[in-house]
Structure formats: C-alpha cells, structure tokens
Amino acid sequence: MNKLILVTGGTGYIGSHTVVELMNEGFDVVIIDNLSNSEKSVLNGIAEITGRRPFFEQFDICDKKRLHDFFRIYKKLDSIIHFAAYKAVGESIEKPLMYYQNNLTSLMNLLEGMIEFKIPHFVFSSSATVYGQPDQLPVNEEAPFKTADSPYGNTKQIAEEIIRDTVNANDNLKAISLRYFNPIGAHSSALIGELPRGVPNNLVPFITQTAAGVRNELKIFGDDYNTPDGTAIRDYINVVDLAKAHVVSIKRMIEQKSKSDLEIFNLGTGKGSSVMEIVNAFEKSTGEKLNYKIVGKRAGDVESVYADITYANKELGWKAEIGLEETLLSAWNWEKYLRNKKR
C-alpha cells in the first residue's frame, strides 16, 4: 500500500521500529519528531534496514502553527500514528505540568489538524498503566481504569477520553488505541533499538547496561511480592511484534473493518514473567553473568500485570511471535552495537 502515514515520535524507540515495519509493507512515511528523546541518526538505521529514507520534519507538535503549516504541505496523509510523548513515570511526578502540557497539547493539536485536513485514521500509543493493579488477571480491555499512579498514567487515561469524545463528534474519524504492556528488545539487525538517556528506569536496558559494565549491579526491586518467586510480574513484549500490530491497525481502518469509531486493544504476549525470570532468561540466552542484588520495592510499582490478548488475536489477527530469550538476545546485541559505536 503506498499510502502516506504520519508517524509522530518516529525516531523514538517504538516509533522507529514501526516506521521500519510500515516501510517494509510499502507504506510511505513522514516522521515528525523534535528529538527531545531521540537522535537524527536513527534515520540512518531505518534507511539501512529498509533501503528507503522516510521524510523527516523536526519540530514540536505542541507548536500549533508549525503543525498547521505541516498539514498544508503534506496534503495526502492517510493516517497518523501518534507515539510522541514524554514517558518517564518518575519524572512525571516531579514535573506534572510538563507532562500534561506535552502529552495532551500534542494530542489535541493533531486531532484538530485531522478534522480540518480530513485525515481519517488515528492510532494512539496507550499503556497498560491505565489498569493500575487490575482486580483480575490476565486483564482485558473491559477492565475499569484504576486511579493512575502518576501524571504520566493520567495523561494516557485522559488521552483515551479525549480521543473517544473527538471520534464521537466527528463522523469521518476512526481511531485505535493500543495499550502496550512492557515493550523490550531491538530490531534483529541491531541497527535500531532503545536509546535511554542517563540511568535507565526500565528493567531490560538496566540489565544490558549492567552486563556491559556501564552499571555496577542491577537492583531487583522487591522479592516479597505475592508471586511464585516473590519478584514482580509483567508482560514483556518484543518491540518488533508490537510494531507489527500498528501496521495491522492501520490496514484495518483503511479496509474499513473497524467495529466502532474507537477500538482498544491490549498488546502483550498474554504471559507474565517475573523479574527473576527475566534475569535468568537473559543469562541463558546471552551467556553473560549478571551482578544483581535484591533491594526494597520501588514506590508505585504494581505486583503483577499481564494481558488478556484474546481480543487483539481475534479482531486484529495479530499475536506476538518472538520468544523471550530471542528478544533479550536482541536487546543485548543492540547494547553491544551501542558500546562499539561509542568506542
């Protein structure tokens, strides 16, 4: 399909992998990114993998006038996939207004542009964080929102409401909100991956940096949860599998298969893994020994969350295919590529 797709945040972690999958499927892509959390060199990785270069525009989507000018130039847009957002949970607690401002203003500017310029399809990056600690596991899309643990989580809940109200009020607008569980790993080529700034908050980049000797030791946050080995459980999903679900979502809207104006899908594997299981799987797949120690729980962490993926399976015909060990190995290969580049 040679339709033109706007990918906001397309030089970021999940965005860059999605751009690759879109281009592999024949879509044309224009990225908007202000590079607040990514680098322009990511475009080289994308070009090397796909043999093509996406269009790239560097600016802040919160700049309404600049975005309006963009829509006037790129008249043939078919769909928007909106990744651009700030995503650090801890930082959002310290700087809530920065998070509300960036994550919600960017969304509203895009939706206004879609209405004015008649762009019919929208895919939104939501998060399992909207569920908090669910009452039932695996958690399905019908589960109620729990009070969000952070301003970041609030922005995802509010964003889904903004999108719902907007599609309800506009006949020609369709949206799909994808609730990601824990995206990990990198492209198998090791040419694109996650670029954490400073000390990583997330488990897998912390693991790979520890194995690479950048960090002294991994701290495992809590071993007295009510889980089989006492460590917390999450649903870790390969970022390429996750990216493919965006392509499927775009095609679903183009082919007019949506069952409602806003559809919501969980994107996970359906299987929970504990922190200790991730550590063991990493050691097994890479042959690296990890230096770790158990410390107290991290504030705000839930005990266990993993996805019910029945709905995504049935409606999108999508499921995660890459196993945990292969995924952790891809994360490790990416870390080694980064270290070599820095030498």
Interface positions with ligand NAD (CB under 6 A):
9, 11-15, 32-38, 60-62, 83-85, 87, 102, 106, 125, 127, 180, 182-183
The interface region with ligand UFG, picked from 6-14, 157-165, 195-203, 281-289 by CB under 6 A, is: 195-203
User: Is 306 marked active-site?
Assistant: no
Q: Which is nearer to ligand NAD, 125 or 231 (CB)?
A: 125
Q: Which is nearer to ligand NAD, 37 or 154 (CB)?
A: 37
Nearer to ligand UFG, 113 or 193 (CB): 193
Query: Could you give the CA distance from residue 257 to residue 143 in angstroms, rounded to a whole number?
Result: 24
Which residue's CB comes closest to ligand NAD? 12
Distance between CA atoms of 205 and 185, rounded to whole angstroms?
Answer: 9
Contact 267, 245 (CB under 8 A): yes
What's the rounded Cα separation, in Å, for the pair 125 and 315? 18
Look at residue 203 and give the partner it binds from ligand NAD, ligand UFG, none, a contact being a CB closer than 5 to 8 Å depending on partner kind: ligand UFG
Paired with 304 in beta bridges are 233
Question: What are the contacts of 89-92 at 24+ separation with CB within 8 A?
Answer: 89/129, 89/149, 89/150, 89/152, 89/153, 89/201, 89/300, 90/150, 90/201, 92/150, 92/151, 92/152, 92/155
Binding residue (CB under 6 A) for ligand UFG from 202, 258, 280, 313: 202
Beta-carbon count within 10 A of 336 CB = 15
Choose the contact partner of 84 out of ligand NAD, ligand UFG, none; CB within 5 to 8 A by kind: ligand NAD
Q: Which of 13, 86, 152, 306 is catalytic?
A: 152
What is the binding site for ligand UFG (CB under 6 A)? 87, 89, 127-129, 181-182, 201-203, 206, 218-221, 232, 234, 275, 298, 301
